[in-house]
Structure 1
Amino acid sequence: MRELKKLELEYEGIRSSISKYTSDGSVINFLDGLKEQLKKNDAEAISYYIEEICKWYDLNITEIHNNEFVINPSEHDRNKKILEEIRDSLKNSENVSEDKFMYSKILLSHSSSDTKYGDALRKLFIALGLKNEQLIYTSHPLNKILIGDNIFDYLKKNIQKDIFVIYLWSNEYLKSAACLNEMGATWIVESDYINIYTPDFDFNNTQYHNCAVDTKKMGIILKDDERCKIGMVELKNKLLERLGLTINEQEWVYHLDEFMKDIK
């Protein structure tokens, strides 16, 4: 969520201002707890700690302004305003239905043998305005796991409920233990997903029907036909809404046409 990203960027400044003003153990503990929950991306716990820090500011802001040793009280005013805005935004998001849940990243789960289709999807997502750091696609140098990182630790850290998963189903995908483990990890955290299929995928494969995800869920078959085009338009609309992106429709038509050529 954008609110949590903003909080991550502002956190150290907020903590520095408060810790310079007071050694009050309760608010320092709230700040420590907030930092820990930001790492875990636990929105409910984050909301709790923000609420407590806002309460502390409500009780202390007047004293902060009257304290002759506080050089820049407006800094605290800014902190208070930021925290209240994020608190209110998180509260509002709790009332938004699940199907309006915002995504932080996309995971393109695929077999390395299907990079032709993976590359075409990546190219289309980047055209939508997706940043490289918002896409996990291990077959591309700009989206792959960095050298020295453990792949399982990386996926464990990044696979959260707010990640959107694209399962690029192929006959090779079903033969890959790594792909099936990746799928299992996203299923456990209940990530939202879409099924996309290579043109030669065998829908009668019993292993496919025994997978954790819902194989009856409507998906997209990557064929050069109108059904594929319509499916990609629907996916585009969903991603623009859930990732907060925008694209000029004329540009989109061009990039979609290029995508259809790429998957031929």
Structure 2
Amino acid sequence: MISNQLSELNEIINVCKSLVERIKVNGTVRAKDSLYEKYKVLIRSFCEKYNLENSHSMRVGTIYDILVKYYWNSYSYSVSLKEANVLLKTLNELKQELRSDHYERIFISHREKDKEQVDALIELLYAIGIPRPLQNGDKTIFCSSHPAAYIENGQMIDNEIIKHFHCEQNVFFILWYTDNYFESQACLNEMGAVWVMNKQYQEILMPGFERNKIGGLLPKEKVSFYANNKFRLNTFKEQIEKMFSLQPVDTNAWEIARDKFIKTIEMQATEKNAILT
């Protein structure tokens, strides 16, 4: 469940985005414009509620000063596109400063040939508490091969993937390693982007995949784990709960979901080995 603070800040950012779009159409907007008035009410309430003026963080204090500077009461004042963009940029910086440890999206980097394995992973994430997508709603998980999380018809695949590397929301990347993964230039490109942009990530290995086959630029010292390691899965669950501000699920319910996931993964690994031999 997304935190109240982050939810409130996202609402302010969305209002500011709408303000930017309105100014692009009209050239400027007066300070009495309904969108700017709504922004002022929301940002004033937010600053007071979380006492940004007296924050112990020097960076938050600097951001607060900018927000105050761009807070106009005179109805005769016209807000320019440059000023609205400064507000939007400042709000996104505030979001990163206040909630740098909170995540809103999951990107699963995988090979489409391994779709069935990743389907099982997504069900496990749902069991942990990651919300399933709602009709016409936001999707927390992006996975190019899963019907509930993939790219919509008519969209450019590369463009949709790039969006997740450059979006304003914090995205957690899961890299699903198999032999197929390291045979794909597209997967290696995603791995490279995670490294270059210093994204938060977790590497998960399919049973039977050998660690010495891990290539690419990511540091080899970071802890990865095999998908059928129940103790590492327990830690992964706690990691996801903390990052996404989730309430811990019932222990028995989690163990049932975890063991079902392990059984599915081990069965698929056995079937693959049988085909290869």
What range is the shorter-chain TM-score in?
0.5 to 0.7
- Which residue number in structure 2 is paired with residue 151 of structure 1? 157
- Which residue number in structure 1 is paired with residue 227 of structure 2? 222
Q: Is contact 1:3–1:90 with CA below 8 Å preserved after alignment?
A: no
Paired with 2:109 and 2:116, the residues of 1 have a C-alpha distance of: 14
Paired with 1:54 and 1:121, the residues of 2 have a C-alpha distance of: 45
Paired with 1:169 and 1:197, the residues of 2 have a C-alpha distance of: 5
Assess, with a 3 A threshold, how the Cα gap between structure 1 residues 219 and 51 changes in structure 2: closer, same or farther: same
- What stretches of structure 1 of length at least 5 have no aligned partner? 32-44, 68-82
Matched, 1:245 2:246: yes
In the TM superposition, residue 47 of structure 1 has moved relative to its aligned partner by: 9.5
Deviations 1:47-83 (CA, angstroms, capped at 9, x unpaired): 97775343444x63xx77xx9xxxxxxxxxxxxxxx9
User: What is the number of residues matched between the two proteins?
Assistant: 212
In the TM superposition, residue 202 of structure 1 has moved relative to its aligned partner by: 2.4
Aligned residues: CA RMSD: 3.8
Counterpart of 1:140, as a letter, is H
- Which residue number in structure 1 is paired with residue 52 of structure 2? none
Counterpart of 1:198, as a letter, is M
SS of alignment partner, residue 107 of structure 2: strand
Q: Is contact 2:60–2:94 with CA below 8 Å preserved after alignment?
A: no
Paired with 2:198 and 2:184, the residues of 1 have a C-alpha distance of: 21
Counterpart of 1:137, as a letter, is C
In the TM superposition, residue 189 of structure 1 has moved relative to its aligned partner by: 1.3
Counterpart of 1:7, as a letter, is I
1:128-139 matched pairs, under 5 angstroms = 128-131=128-131, 132=133, 133-139=139-145
Identity %: 25
Assess, with a 3 A threshold, how the Cα gap between structure 1 residues 46 and 115 changes in structure 2: closer, same or farther: farther
Assess, with a 3 A threshold, how the Cα gap between structure 1 residues 51 and 155 changes in structure 2: closer, same or farther: farther
- Which residue number in structure 2 is paired with residue 40 of structure 1? none
Paired with 1:8 and 1:105, the residues of 2 have a C-alpha distance of: 17
TM-score normalised over the length of structure 2:
0.64
- What stretches of structure 2 of length at least 5 have no aligned partner? 1-5, 23-27, 41-58, 77-86, 134-138, 267-277
Deviations 1:119-150 (CA, angstroms, capped at 9, x unpaired): 11100111222233111111111100111111
SS of alignment partner, residue 94 of structure 1: helix
- Which residue number in structure 2 is paired with residue 184 of structure 1? 192
SS of alignment partner, residue 152 of structure 2: coil
In the TM superposition, residue 255 of structure 1 has moved relative to its aligned partner by: 1.7
SS of alignment partner, residue 166 of structure 1: strand
Counterpart of 1:141, as a letter, is P
TM-score normalised over the length of structure 1:
0.67
Assess, with a 3 A threshold, how the Cα gap between structure 1 residues 51 and 252 changes in structure 2: closer, same or farther: farther
Paired with 1:7 and 1:135, the residues of 2 have a C-alpha distance of: 23
Paired with 1:4 and 1:168, the residues of 2 have a C-alpha distance of: 32
- Which residue number in structure 2 is paired with residue 141 of structure 1? 147
- Which residue number in structure 2 is paired with residue 90 of structure 1? 94
Q: Is contact 1:195–1:220 with CA below 8 Å preserved after alignment?
A: yes
